[in-house]
Amino acid sequence: MMTGAAAPRLVDIAQSAGVSVATASRALSGRQGVSTAVAERVKEIAESLGYIGNVHARSLAGGTSSSVGLVVHEVADPYFSEIASGVMRVAGRRGLSVQMCHSGRDPQIELRQLRTLIANRVGVIVVAGSGYLDAEAERSIHRELTRFTQAGGRVVAIGRHQHATDAVLPANTDGAQAVTRHLLALGHRRVAVVTGSLGLTTVADRLTGVHRALAEAGIPREEVPVVVAPFTRDGGKTATLEVLREHPGSTAVLALNDDMAIGALSVLRSRSLRVPDDMSVTGFDDVPVAADLSPSLTTVRLPMQQMGEKALELALRPAAKRPRRVVMPATLVERDSSGPPRRS
Amino acid sequence: MMTGAAAPRLVDIAQSAGVSVATASRALSGRQGVSTAVAERVKEIAESLGYIGNVHARSLAGGTSSSVGLVVHEVADPYFSEIASGVMRVAGRRGLSVQMCHSGRDPQIELRQLRTLIANRVGVIVVAGSGYLDAEAERSIHRELTRFTQAGGRVVAIGRHQHATDAVLPANTDGAQAVTRHLLALGHRRVAVVTGSLGLTTVADRLTGVHRALAEAGIPREEVPVVVAPFTRDGGKTATLEVLREHPGSTAVLALNDDMAIGALSVLRSRSLRVPDDMSVTGFDDVPVAADLSPSLTTVRLPMQQMGEKALELALRPAAKRPRRVVMPATLVERDSSGPPRRS
DNA sequence: TTGAAAGCGCTAACAA
DNA sequence: TTGTTAGCGCTTTCAA
C-alpha cells in the first residue's frame, strides 16, 4: 500500500554523524555506553533530518513490541468507547500504540481479529466485552489466546471470566441484584426484564443477580418475564413494545443495559406513558448520557474508563502464577426514572 | 515487552512441508507459481501448526503496510466514536488493522501521535477532528504529514481543510446557517451561541454559518453573544449558566455541538425552565442519543459513520493530482427542543 | 514450478 | 566508548 520513498534510515543518521549504526542506535534509544557529546550530536542530526525509526525493524530485531491490541464489540457503543478511552489514556502515557478492532459480538470475527493482532505481534491484548456461551466458539478463542500467552504475550479480559486469563470484572451480579432490590423495595411486583442475547455471559451474570433478588423476596422467577432483543437502543424499543403487548400489567422495565433502557424511555414517551408514574425504568452501565436524560435514568454505575485503564495496567505487569481478577464495583445510582408503582 | 517463545515461523512450515521458504511464502500468500498440490499441502500444514505470519517481517521485507492510523480527539466523545466505527468497519472489510490514538485537542500531542503512526509504518492516516487555528502548530503537523505523503503514505482529514490533503468535510457552515435560520424563523431574536474554543476550525466554520444567517435577517452580529467553554457536556453547563446570568433576555441557546446542548438542557431542567417554552435549545452533530433526549433535540445531522467510511475509502484510493474534497451534507433535524419564543 | 540468496532497517552480542 | 557483525522472519529477484 505504501510505496516507501526516501525516509531517512538509521544508517543515514549514523553516516551523517560519522558514527556506526550501533552507536547511533544506542544514542537514539537513550541507552548508555555512548559519550554525551556523541549522543547529543546524533540526536540533533536525527531531529534535523526528521528521522523516525521503523517500528517493524525494531520489533523484528529486538523481539519487542510496543503495541497493544484492543478488541471491542463495537466502538460506537458508549460502553466500549468509554473502556477504549481508558485503555488509550494509559497507552498514551506509556508511549504504546493501540490497535483496535471490532468483534461485532460474533465469535468468528473475534477469532479472526485476534489472529490479526497476533500477526501484528502486539505485546498485550485487551479483550473487552461479554464472552459467548457457545462452548465451541469460546474454545477456539481460548486456544488462540493460550498460544499467545505461551509465546510470552499478555492477555486481560474485561467483563468475561471463562478464560484462564487475568480479568477485570464488573460486579454484574451484585449490580443487578441491587437494582432489582431497589425496584422491589419501591413496591414493584410486576417487573419485566428487557435484555440482550442470553448467549452473552454478561447477560447471564446480570440475570443471576435479578434472580437472586427475586428469590430473597420470595418471588418465583417465572413471574418475571424476560424479553430478549438486541442489546441496543432499538432492541430496547422492540422489547418494550413486546412488554406492553404481552405483559400489560407490568409496572417496571428493568433493562440490562442503558442502551435498552433509553429505547424503553423513548417508546414509553411516544405512548404517552409517564415515567416513573406509569412505569419505572432502570438501566445498567451508567453511560455518560444517563444522567442527562429526562427523566434521568436510575441505573447501575460501572466505572468503565477505569476498567479500561485497569485492564491495560494489569496487562503491562508480568503474569502471575494464577490469573488475577480485579473486581470493579457496580453501584446503584437512583435517579428519576424509578418510583413507586401506580395504584392499580 | 513480549518475550517471543516458540511461535512457528515460515521456515518451520516450509520444513514440515518439505519445500523452500520461497515456495511456502508463495503458497500462503496465494500467489501463483506454485502447483496447486503443493500450495494445498503447505496451507494445511500451516493451519495445523497454527501458523500466523509476522506482520513486522512481512512489512520489512515487502515494504508494504496493512494498517491504517486513526487520530481522534477523544474516542469517548460520540462524534469521534461514530467516525471511528465507520473507519473500523471499512478496515475490517479490507483486512486492515487500525491504530487509533488520541490527540486530546492538543496540537503537541497530535504531532507526537502522528510520528508514532509513521514510525509504525501505517500506509494511511485518517485525521479526524477539527484543526487548530494556531498557525505554528498547524505548520508542524502539516510538515510531518507532507513528509509522510512524499514517502508514499496517504492522508485523509475529516473536518479540517487547511492541509493540502484529501478531506471529508461536513457542511459545517451550511448546517449552522440552517439551524440559525430555523430559530430566526420561529421568531427568536435574542439567541445566545454556546461553543467550544474559537481556536478550532470547526467552530470558526459553524460560527460563519450563524453569522451568515444573522446577516440575511439583518441582525447585527454584536447582538448575539457567543459564550465559549469546553466543547463538552460540562462546558455546555458552564456556558448556559453564563448565558442565564449575563444575557437574561435570551430565548434560545444555539449550541455548536450536541454535547454542549445536552449540558444546556440539563442546566435548564435543574432551573425548572421549560424547553422549548421558556427557552429553545439546538445542537449540532446529531449524536445517536439526541433523538432520545426529552425533549428530543433539534440539531444538525452529520453522517458521522459515513464520514469515517468515506475517509478510509478515499485514503485507500491512490492520490489524485489535486487534493480531493468530499463534502458531506449537514441537514437540519427539527425536533422538540425548539419552538417559538415565549411572549415577554 | 521450485530453490538459493540477497536484503528490508534495526538491535544486540561480541570485539576492539 | 565505539564498531563489526550476525541475525529477527519474511518477500522477492534471479537461477535452475
Query: CATH number for the domain including A210?
Result: 3.40.50.2300
CA–CA distance, B295 with B337 (Å, rounded to integer): 5
CA–CA distance, A202 with A205 (Å, rounded to integer): 5
* Same structural domain, A233 and A177: yes
Average pLDDT (A321-332) is 95
The answer as to whether B337 is a domain residue is no
Instruction: Please tell me whether residue A253 adopts helix, strand or coil conformation.
Output: strand
Model confidence at A229, pLDDT cuts 50, 70, 90, reads very high
Average pLDDT (B297-312) is 97
* B11 CB and strand C closer than 7 A: no
Q: For residue B99, what are the CA distances in angstroms to A24, A142, B70, B71, B120? A: 28, 24, 6, 8, 9
Each residue's pLDDT tens digit, B243-285:
999 999 999 999 999 999 999 999 999 999 999 999 999 999 9
CA B265 from centroid of its chain's CA atoms: 25
Instruction: Tell me the residue range of the domain where B42 lies.
Output: 10-53
Length of chain A as a residue count: 344
- Amino acid letter, B55: V
**Taking the model in full, what pTM does it have?**
0.91
| pLDDT at position A5 | 40
Reference B279, options B337, B214, B335, B332; nearest CA is B337
Beta bridge partners of B27: none
Give residue numbers, 17 to 36 of A, with CB < 7 Å from strand D. Answer: 18-23, 26, 32-35
- CATH at residue A24: 1.10.260.40
Each residue's pLDDT tens digit, A11-31:
999 999 999 999 999 999 888
| pLDDT at position A1 | 40
* Same structural domain, A261 and A311: no
* Same structural domain, B22 and B91: no
**A60 close to B (CB below 8 A):** yes
> Looking at the partner chain, which of A7, A84, A123 has a beta carbon nearest the beta carbon of B2?
A123
* Same structural domain, B160 and B240: no
Beta bridge partners of A170: A328
Which residue in chain B is spatially nearest to A267 when comparing CA positions?
B292
Average pLDDT (A154-174) is 90
* Same structural domain, A216 and A270: yes
* A272 CB and strand D closer than 7 A: no
* B57 CB and strand D closer than 7 A: yes
* B287 CB and strand C closer than 7 A: no
Cell, residue B257: 455541538
Please enumerate in sequence order all residues whose Cβ is within 8 A of that of B143, keeping only pairs 6 or more positions apart, or say none: none
Each residue's pLDDT tens digit, A138-153:
889 998 998 898 888 9
* Same structural domain, A289 and A216: yes
CA B33 from centroid of its chain's CA atoms: 43
* Same structural domain, B241 and B285: yes
CB A163 within 8 A of CB A132: no
CA–CA distance, B246 with B311 (Å, rounded to integer): 41
* Same structural domain, B181 and B297: yes
Model confidence at B2, pLDDT cuts 50, 70, 90, reads very low
Mutate to test the interface with A, among B292, B302, B313, B336 (most CBs of A within 10 A): B292
Please enumerate in sequence order all residues whose Cβ is within 8 A of that of B157, keeping only pairs 6 or more positions apart, or say none: B126, B127, B128, B131, B163, B165, B166, B167, B168, B311
Average pLDDT (A99-126) is 93
* Same structural domain, B216 and B293: yes
The answer as to whether B335 is a domain residue is no
Instruction: Give the pairing of strands B252-255 and B191-195.
Output: parallel
| pLDDT at position A344 | 56
The answer as to whether A1 is a domain residue is no
Cβ separation of B101 and A102 shorter than 8 Å? no
Cβ separation of A75 and B76 shorter than 8 Å? no
What is the DSSP secondary structure assignment for residue A200, as one 8-state letter? B
Q: For residue A70, what are the CA distances in angstroms to B102, B103, B114? A: 15, 18, 19
For chain A, what is the domain count?
A: 3
Beta bridge partners of B68: B98, B124
What is the DSSP secondary structure assignment for residue A19, as one 8-state letter? S
**A210 close to B (CB below 8 A):** no
Each residue's pLDDT tens digit, B82-110:
999 999 999 999 999 999 999 998 999 99
CB A176 within 8 A of CB A256: yes
Asked if residue A235 has pLDDT above 70, the reply is yes
Give residue numbers, 23 to 52 of B, with CB < 7 Å from strand C. Answer: 23, 26, 32-35, 37-39
Cell, residue B31: 500467489
Please enumerate in sequence order all residues whose Cβ is within 8 A of that of B129, keeping only pairs 6 or more positions apart, or say none: B71, B72, B73, B80, B103, B105, B158, B159, B160, B202
* Same structural domain, B27 and B79: no
CB A159 within 8 A of CB A168: yes
SS (HEC) of A10-70: HHHHHHHHCCCHHHHHHHHCCCCCCCHHHHHHHHHHHHHHCCCCCHHHHHHHHCCCCEEEE
The answer as to whether B94 is a domain residue is yes
CB-CB neighbors (< 8 A) of B63 in chain A? 2-4
CB A69 within 8 A of CB A120: yes
